[in-house]
Amino acid sequence: MTVRKDFATVALWATNMAQPLNGIDAWLAKVEAKLAEAKAGGADILVLPEYASEQWLGYAPGGLKPMEEIGFMADEARKALAELPKLVEKAGIALLAGTVPVPDPAADPDSDGPKHLNRAHLILPDGRVVAQDKLCLTPGEKDPRGWHLATGGKVEMVEWNGLRIATLICLDIELPALSAKIARSEPDLDLILVPSMTEKESGYSRVFGCAKARAVELQTAVCAVGSIGSALPNNARPNFSGAAVFLPCEAELGYDGRFAEEAGRPEAEGDGPLLIARDVPVGMIRHLRSAGRAEVWPGSWDADAISIAQG
């Protein structure tokens, strides 16, 4: 039987997309350095933002169309994913490598439908690589004239190092129906990881506000991180975000649900801030959840028996 951890330390890298790269090896070197920094800070896991791959567009051939951007990032992702497990093994901590486009094996090559998925890879020191596809897409991701992506159809639950972990990508954390379904089928989560990419402060506020709500609804710790700045010249692809760890709003956990936070911003210095949230009290949260000691939390409640009266 796996012994559950009482504390987890999570490193969240709000990557500065404006930092120039000259190729995938330069990006891998930055990831290796951040893994070492996170490890030195006591982290169990390092989390990168959604579309961490967008930084690669800074060295892509000029004039790519949206679908060509996806193809370029998917090709670079194959190179990155071949090397990242080696870096994780060396560091000895887990890595959620943001998200990257990957070919959809279910796509019809002869159709005009989407050919790629937006996928997060949780790379573990024990050699496992757990994939999580984005479930609900933004209009730009769905647009046939844009990135034109396909959706996933399941949430992967992972047990590692005494922790139960799930990943919900950006917009997926904004869906109460998904939260309710998780609560019914998997009520014993320790961490939800939320890699995100948001262009404006409004998007950042939606994702992080909903992440805080999910921490209350699921009585678990939710760790959100996004990217900052533009990988393309003249701020052509802006990003506004930060990093935060949210907890249930309980007296034993500090009342307000805010455990650690790097405020959202449109620009950053260097590679972007690395938030190391030390000793997230997953054991206490688990105790409050399982022992029924949360202040008012109703458990895995659903609204199936509720009717809506039309006035």
Is pLDDT above 80 for 291? Answer: no
Pairwise CA distance, residues 105 & 198, whole Å: 27
Which amino acid appears at position 244 of this protein? A
Domain 8-106+114-290 architecture? 4-Layer Sandwich (3.60)
Whether pTM exceeds 0.85: yes
Res 303: pLDDT: 86
- Of 183 and 279, the structure prediction assigns the larger pLDDT to 279
Summarize pLDDT for 154-209 with one digit per residue, the tens.
999 999 999 999 999 999 999 999 999 999 888 799 999 999 999 999 999 999 99
Q: 24 near 79, Cβ under 8 Å? A: yes
Tokens of 218: 């699921």
Q: 96 near 128, Cβ under 8 Å? A: no
Taking residue 68's Cβ as centre, other Cβ atoms within 10 Å add up to 12
Tokens of 75: 């090709």
Res 122: pLDDT: 99
Res 221: pLDDT: 99
Tokens of 163: 């922790």
Tokens of 296: 């008012």
* pLDDT band, very low/low/confident/very high, at 67 (cuts 50, 70, 90): confident
CA-to-CA dists, residue 290 to 4, 40, 190, 245, angstroms: 13, 33, 12, 21
**Residue range 59-84: mean pLDDT, rounded:** 95
Backbone dihedral region for residue 66 (phi beyond 0: left; psi -120 to 50: alpha; all else: beta): alpha
Which amino acid appears at position 189 of this protein? L
Res 151: pLDDT: 97
Is pLDDT above 60 for 1? Answer: no
Tokens of 29: 């070197």
**Residue range 205-225: mean pLDDT, rounded:** 98
Is pLDDT above 90 for 297? Answer: no
Q: Which residues pair with 149 in a beta bridge?
A: 116
**Residue range 245-253: mean pLDDT, rounded:** 98
Domain ranges of the chain: 8-106+114-290
**Residue range 130-157: mean pLDDT, rounded:** 96
**Residue range 126-144: mean pLDDT, rounded:** 97
Pairwise CA distance, residues 174 & 191, whole Å: 16
Could you write out the three-class secondary structure of the chain? CCCCCCCEEEEEECCECCCCCCCHHHHHHHHHHHHHHHHHCCCCEEECCCCHHHHHHHHCCCCCCHHHHHHHHHHHHHHHHHHHHHHHHHHCCEEEEEEEEEECCCCCCCCCCCCEEEEEEEECCCCCEEEEECCCCCHHHHCCCCCCEECCCCCCEEEECCEEEEECCHHHHHCHHHHHHHHHHCCCCCEEEEECCCCCHHHHHHHHHHHHHHHHHHCCEEEEECCECCCCHHHCCCCCEEEEEECCCCHHHCCCCEEEEEEEECCCCCCCCEEEEEEECHHHHHHHHHCCCCCCCCCCCCCCCCCCCCC
Average pLDDT of the chain, as a whole number: 96
- Of 163 and 62, the structure prediction assigns the larger pLDDT to 163
**Residue range 31-46: mean pLDDT, rounded:** 99
